[in-house]
Amino acid sequence: MARQTKENTGLSPLEAERLRPCLDAFLASTDSQARIAFDPLEFPHRYENPRDIEVSALLAAALAYGRADLFRPKVDALLKRMGPSPAAFVRELDVAGARELLDGFVYRFNVGTDVAVLLLGMGRTLRELGSLEALFVRGLEARGSWHGALDAFTSALRDVPMEPLRKALGPERGLHHLLPSPLGAGAAKRLNLFLRWMVRGPDGVDLGIWKRVRPSALLIPLDTHIGRISKHLGLTRRNDLSWRTAEEVTASLRALDAEDPVRFDFALCHYGMSGVCPTKPVPENCARCKLLPACAVGRKTVKARGGTEGRARATR
């Protein structure tokens, strides 16, 4: 039998027991409701119908890259033009409607044709299967893995006639960035973020409208903030933002909570997004951080600050 290492097993039980109180205290101290206003999660929270929630959520998650103050107005404008029911809008959407909605749309890597593929794909899914959940579950049952299910999900959404769209809106530009297919070795952060919103909860943060997928199966939505903080806490030894790293971080979190491993994601990600835990540690912030007992970088930073202050006092 091959020897298992920390790389593929996550935290040991002893490590998990040491880390759990810190993370629980950190989570309890986070004002999640205040942070939702700075998160693309604000958009699906506007709706009550499950189909409106999942359509608005996937659109918001797909465009949630770059600066929030730049992508949020783009998502907001699209949803307002789609009317009170995004699900009803995409069910009825055709190429002419996509052109009316998206002519001239540009956000960084993406143009109107890219977003039209997503909206038309969602509309066809709702007409044929009734929900986006049904499409994901179909892929999960057919492929048998989380990566395979996501690959099948994006491939199915992209299965729309392209030539009429290109004629109406011009060529696609960043379609693979918006809906990667094949999925590849990347962490697929925005897709896993969408799945977290749909599967976890409802708990005031995530919406929990999908009932056929268990939270225990979720993969951490790995970005630069989660990657950096995870390494500080010993959740991973890897430096890249790959699918393998997301699996390793999630394996460590499962040692803390096997049924709901990604429940810490929102709080940890916003800790980095807010600037309280930046790339270059701030000694004053580290000293006040509830994660300090478990954070190797934070302890080192605070210790170095103490030594510097001690030497400064000695020379006065």
Give the domain-ending residue among 141, 165, 184: 184
| Distance, CA of 198 to chain centre | 11
Q: Which secondary-structure segment (H or E) carries 98?
A: helix 95-102
Q: How many domains does the chain have?
A: 2
Domain membership flag for residue 304? yes
Task: Tell me if 262 sits within 8 A of 219, measured CB to CB.
Answer: yes
Answer whether residue 2 shows pLDDT above 60.
Answer: no
Q: Is residue 201 part of a domain?
A: no
Please classify residue 185 by burial: count the beta carbons closer than 10 Å to its beta carbon, then call 0-12 exposed, 13-18 middle and 19+ buried: exposed
| Residue 242, beta-bridge partner list | 186
20 plus 53 within the same structural domain:
no
What burial letters (b/e) apply to 264-274, b meaning 16+ CB within 10 Å?
A: bbbbbbbbbbe
User: CB of 108 within 8 A of CB of 65?
Assistant: yes
The reply to whether omega before 21 is within 30° of 0 (cis) is: no
- Percent helix / strand / coil, the chain, rounded to 5: 65, 0, 35
206 in any annotated domain: no
Q: Hey, what's the torsion of the CAs at 123, 133, 210, 49, to 10 degrees?
A: 10
Q: Mean pLDDT in the chain? A: 93
pLDDT of residue 257: 95
Q: How far apart, in whole angstroms, are the C-alpha atoms of residue 200 and residue 169?
A: 37
Mean per-residue pLDDT, 286-297: 95
pLDDT band at 314 (very low <50, low <70, confident <90, very high): very low
Query: Amino acid identity of 168?
Result: A
Q: Are residues 48 and 22 in the same domain?
A: no
57, 99: one domain: yes
Range of the domain at 99: 43-184
219 inside domain: yes
Q: Do residues 52 and 180 share a domain? A: yes
Q: What is the pLDDT of residue 3?
A: 32
- Which pLDDT tens digit goes with each residue over 6-59? 444 578 888 899 999 999 999 999 999 899 988 999 999 999 999 999 999 999
Whole-angstrom Cα distance, residue 300 to residue 292?
10
CA distance 83 to 45: 15
The reply to whether 255 and 155 lie within a common domain is: no
> Does 169 share its domain with 236?
no
CATH of the domain at 274: 1.10.1670.10
Sequence-distant (6+) residues with CB within 8 A of 278 are 272
Residue 190 lies in a domain: no
- pLDDT tens column, 256-284: 999 999 999 999 999 999 999 999 999 99
Chain centroid offset of residue 11 CA? 22
Residues 75/43, Cβ–Cβ less than 8 Å: yes
pLDDT score, position 305: 84
User: What pLDDT score was predicted for residue 309?
Assistant: 52
If asked whether residues 154 and 111 sit together in one domain, one would say: yes
Q: Distance from CA of residue 93 to its chain's centroid? A: 27
pLDDT of residue 9: 56
Name the domain boundary from 135, 167, 184: 184
Q: Give the mean model confidence (pLDDT) for residues 84-92.
A: 98
Number of neighbours of residue 294 by Cβ within 10 angstroms: 21
Say which residue the tokens 């002519």 belong to: 103
